[in-house]
Amino acid sequence: MNGRTHYRDRGLGEALRELEVPEHREAFFAELEAQLAEQGGKTFRLPRPFTRRTGIVALAGAAAAFVLGLALAQVRDGSGVAEAAAVRSQVMRTLSGTQSVRGRLVYRALDARAGKVVTARYSFAADGRGDFRLTNANGTEDLAYDAAAGVERAITTSASIGSGRFYAERTGLAPGAPDEGPSEFLLDRELGALVRALAASREPRVQDVTYHGHPAWRLDVRVEPNSLEPDIDRITVTVDKRSGFPVHVVSSLRGRFRSELTLTELVVDKPLGVGEFTVRFPANPEILRTDAGFTHDGLQHAAAVVGYRPLVPRTIPAGFRLAIVAVARKTSTTGPGGSNPPSRNVVSLAYRRGLDQFTVTTRLRTEGLWRDPFAVEGLALPGEHVRLAGGAFGGARAAVVLDPRTIPHIWAVTDRLVLTISGDLTRAQLLAVADGVR
C-alpha cells in the first residue's frame, strides 16, 4: 500500500461487496474459534475495531485515535498516577469543545510486501457536524464527507488505470457504526472514542516531555495484535498539552517499526472556507455510484420506513444533541466477516457534542445467530455481560465492550430487536443511555 493507491481498485471492491454471498452455516464460526483456540490458546470473539477502513487514511486514523480520551481513567507511570487529572481535563475539553479543526499530516508506514517504508502527505479539515475533507498533497486524491446528507465523494487515481482519474460517490451512508458509514478519518469521533476503552483495560505509562519546544505528554501503550494477521502491539503517542491533540504517533510490532504519524499546522475553531467539504467533479465524468441504503430524515417519518416506532434514549450525557436520523429498510450485514443475519428496518440516531459522537441503532432481529455487530475476526476481546435495568430493553442481557481495539459499545438482543450504542461514552454512560431507550 502507498499514498497513491489507498483507494486501490475501489470500484471492484464496491462491486464485490454488493454480490449476494451464501451465509456460513450456523456452526462455522464456533468451529473456527475452536480451531484458533487450539492453535493459539485463545478464543477469538470480539470485536470490530472501527468502521470501514480506507488505506492510509484509516491507518493514520487508527494510530491517532489511541490518544483522544486516553486518560479518562487512571493513567499511571512507574511511581503512581501521572497527571491523570490534567490529561483527562484537556482531552475532554478538546473533544467536546472543538467545533472545527484543520491541519496537515505526514504518515509513514511499512509496506510489508515490498519491505520498504512509504510516505503520504495530506491536508485535512473536520467540523462539529461530522463533515470532513482529506486531500493528498500532490493533488491526486481528494475526499469529502457530508454528514447531514450521508454522502461521500472522492477523486483518486486507480491502481489499475495508472494516472487516470477515478470518481466515486457513496450515498445512503449511516452516521455511525456498526453500519456502513464514511471512510475512516484521522480525527473521526468513533476513533476518538476508542481510547476511552483503552483507559478502562490498560495502564499506559505517561511521561512529561518536550516536543519541538512545546510541553507534551508521551503515552506508551501495549495492545493485543490481531491473531490472524498481526498488525501492531505497541503504540507511543505524543500529545500537545495546550491543544489536547496528538502530534506524533508511532506503532510497532515486536519492537519493529510499523507506522509513524505526524500532525502539523493545526488550526482549531477557526472559520473554514465556503465549500470546504465539497469535492466537485468535472462535467460528464464516469462515476462509480453506490448506495448503502440509508435515508436521512426526521423521526416523524422513520416509522413509515421501518414499520415500528423508533426507540429513542430519554437519558443522554450533558451537551449532546440529536444531530442525524437515518433509516434503512435493508443494509449491509454486521459482525465478524459480515456473518450476522441480514440487517433489516434499521434506525440509526447520531448524537453530537463538538467532535464527540455516539450512535444508537435498532434493527429487527432476523432469523439466525447474532454476534457482536462490531466484532472482527482475529481479536480476542470478550465483553462484560450485564442485564439492562430499564427502558424498552429492561431485563435483556447485554454486553459492554471496552477495549483498545474497538469503539466503546454496548449491544443487546431481544426476541424482536437488536440494540447497539457506541461512541464517545464511558461504561456508566453506555449503561445509562441503554436503560433510557424507550
Which residue ranges make up each domain of the chain? 3-268, 293-435
Residue type, 298: G
The enclosing H or E element of 329 equals strand 321-331
**Angle at CA of residue 376, ends 371 and 382, nearest 5°:** 60
pLDDT score at 75: 39
Mean pLDDT by 10 residues, the chain (438 residues): 38 43 45 41 31 40 40 36 55 79 91 89 92 90 95 83 81 96 63 45 72 89 84 84 83 93 90 91 93 94 95 96 98 95 98 93 97 89 91 97 84 98 91 98
C-alpha to C-alpha distances, 162 to 4, 12, 331, nearest whole angstrom: 10, 15, 33
Identify whether the C-beta of residue 23 lies closer than 8 Å to the C-beta of residue 369.
no
Work out the number of other CB atoms within 10 angstroms of the CB of residue 383: 21
Is the distance from CB of 141 to CB of 7 less than 8 angstroms?
yes
Q: Rounded to 10 degrees, what is the CA torsion of 70, 71, 73, 75?
A: 110
User: Residue holding cell 443487546?
Assistant: 412
Distance CA(334)–CA(177), nearest Å, equals: 9
Whole-angstrom CA distances from 101 to 30, 62, 264, 272, 333 are 44, 18, 12, 9, 33
Render the burial of 240-270: b for 16+ CB within 10 Å, e for the rest.
bbebbbbbbbbbbbeeeebbbbbbeebeeee
Amino acid (1-letter code) at residue 2: N
Taking CA 178 as the corner, what is the angle to CA 177 and CA 180, rounded to the nearest 5 degrees? 80
What pTM does this model have?
Answer: 0.80
Rounded to the nearest 5°, which phi and psi values hold at 363? -150, 155
- The whole-number pLDDT of residue 157 equals 80
Q: What residues contact 104, with CB distance under 8 A and at least 6 apart?
A: 121, 122, 123, 124, 137, 263, 264, 265
Q: Which DSSP string do the residues of 273-311 spell out, in sequence order? A: PTTTT--PPPSS--EEEEE-S-EE--HHHHHHHHSSPPP
Q: Are strands 132-136 and 142-146 parallel, antiparallel or unpaired?
A: antiparallel
* Confidence (pLDDT) at 142: 94
d(CA 436, CA 438): 6
Q: Are 160 and 30 in contact (CB under 8 A)?
A: no
The hierarchical CATH code for the domain 3-268 is 2.50.20.10
